[in-house]
Structure 1
Amino acid sequence: MQDRTRQPRQIARELALLSLSQLPVNPKTLTEDQLPELVLGAVRTLRGEIKDSLENASDELKNSNDRLLTSETRAADLNTSRTMLKEAIEYTRTAINRLAYTLDFLELSQETTKKYKEINEYAIKLVRKITSERQLIDEKISTALVDWQVKRLAQIDRDILRIAVADIEFFDIPSKVAINEAVELAKRYSGEDGHRFINGVLRKVSEQSQVKG
C-alpha cells in the first residue's frame, strides 16, 4: 500500500516521461513553444490512465468480494479457504493502491494553481534539459552499462534513466532520491524486472560520479 503522498515533482517526472515518448525523431527541431504542448499531451494521457485505474479498482474490489464469498461457501478445506482469502486480500490491496494513486494526482493537479504550475514547470524543465544535454546524459548512462548500448535500451527504460541523470546533474537532486523516483517510475511503466535494472544502472552512475568528484 502506498505510504506517502506523491509530491509535485513526482508527478512532473511522470509527465516528463510521457512527454519524452512524444518527442520528434530529431529532438533538435523541438521549439520552446512546443514544450507546453508536449506536457499537455502527457496530462491528457495521464488522465486517461486515471480513468482506467478507477475502473480497474472497481473491478478488483468486486473480484475481492467474490473471492471472499467463494471462500466461505465453496471451500473444500481450510487450506483452500486460506488461499482464496489471500487472493481476496491481494485484489483489495491492488484496488486501494490504484485509488490512492488517483487521489494523490487529483489533489496535486487540481487543488491549487500553485501546485499545478510547479508540476508543469518542472516537467518542461526536465524535457528541455534532456533534449539539450542528451549527449552528456547518455554518456553518463553508457559508462554504467556493461556490454550494452544506450540506443539498444527499451525507450521507456532509456527515458527513465535520462530523467534520473538530469535530476542529479542539473537540478541538484540527491542521487538516492533520484534513484528511488526512477525505480517507482519503472515499476509503473517498465517491464517486470525493469525497476531492478534501472536501480542497478543508476547506482553505478552515482558511484562513478562520486569517484570523479
Structure 2
Amino acid sequence: MRARQISRELALLALSQLPSSPERLAKQELYNLVLAAVRTLTTEAHEALETAAMELDRGYQQLLKSETQAAHVESAQVMVRAAIEQVQVALNRLGAAIDFPERIQLANQTNVRAYALEILECLNAHRAEIDQLLEASLVDWQIQRLVRVDRDLLRIATTEMLYLGTPERVAINEAVELAKLYGDEEGHRFINGVLRRVVDQLQSRPPVGGVPTVTGDT
C-alpha cells in the first residue's frame, strides 16, 4: 500500500473531525489523525445500523398488514432489502475501522502523516477558492448540499491538482477509488464527472498555486 494512498484516505476520514486552525492542525500527531478517522468510520457504522433498524421495523409493520393486502408483502420485501444493505454498509465501516490502524502501521508512518497534514492544511487555507472552482463544475448541485464523502473527496482531489502538483489523472483515479470504497453505487461516477470538469476549467486558465512540498510515491 503506497503511503500517499493511505494519506488521502486518512485525510478524507479525518477531515470532519479535526480543527481547521492551521496552528492546531499542524500539531496533530499520527495517533490523533487515526483516531479521527476511526471515529468517522464508527459514527457512520452506527448511523447505518440505525437506518437498518428503522427499515426493518417498517418492513415488519408492512408484513403485519400483508395478510389482507398482497401489495404490502412487496413493500415489506423492499424495506428488508434496504435494511440488509444498510447492515452491510455498517459492517464494512466497522471492518475498515478495525483494519485502518494496522494499514498505517505497515506503511511509512512519517510520510503518511506528512502528506495527510499537507492536504488538510492546504485545503483549509484555500477552501474558498477550491469551493468556488467546484461550484462552477457542479451541474444542478451546490457544494454544501453534497453528502460529506463526495464533498470531501472533491475538495481533496482539487487541492492536490491545484496546489500540490499531483497529476490530474492520479488525483481523479485516487478519488474515484475512494468513492467506490466509502460512497454509494453512483458516487464514483459523480466524482469522476465533476473532477473532469474541474480539469477542463484548470486547463483553460493560467496555472495557480504552488509546487509539491512533499516528495514520494503517489
TM bracket, shorter-chain basis: 0.5 to 0.7
Matches within 5 A, 1:118-137: 119-130=112-123, 134=126
Gaps of 5+ in 2: 137-141, 208-218
Distance 1:199 1:177, change over 3 A: closer
Q: 1:72-118: CA deviations, max 9, x gaps?
A: 55313221100011011101101111211221232122356124826
Q: How many residues of Structure 1 are paired with residues of Structure 2 in the alignment?
A: 187
Distance 1:116 1:59, change over 3 A: farther
Contact 2:11 2:120 in 1 (8 A): no
Distance 1:160 1:36, change over 3 A: farther
Q: Which amino acid aligns with 2:79?
A: E
Per the normalisation by structure 2, the TM-score is 0.59
Gaps of 5+ in 1: 1-6, 147-151
- Please state whether the residue corresponding to 1:37 is helix, strand or coil: coil
Tell me how large the CA RMSD over aligned residues is: 4.5
Q: Which amino acid aligns with 2:77?
A: L
- What is the aligned-residue identity percentage? 16
The CA distance in 1 between the partners of 2:53 and 2:93, in whole Å, is 19
Bigger drift between 200-209 and 65-74 goes to 65-74
Matches within 5 A, 1:22-101: 22-24=19-21, 27=22, 30=23, 34-37=25-28, 40-60=31-51, 62-63=53-54, 66=57, 69-70=60-61, 72-75=63-66, 76-101=68-93
The CA distance in 1 between the partners of 2:43 and 2:124, in whole Å, is 30
Matched, 1:164 2:166: no
2:210 equivalent in structure 1? none
Per the normalisation by structure 1, the TM-score is 0.60
1:18 equivalent in structure 2? 16
Distance 1:181 1:23, change over 3 A: farther
Q: 1:47-71: CA deviations, max 9, x gaps?
A: 3344444444554555565556555
Q: 1:161-208: CA deviations, max 9, x gaps?
A: 4421222242335253255368679969xxxx9x96x76653322113
* 1:177 paired residue among 173, 189, 212: 173
Contact 1:141 1:205 in 2 (8 A): no
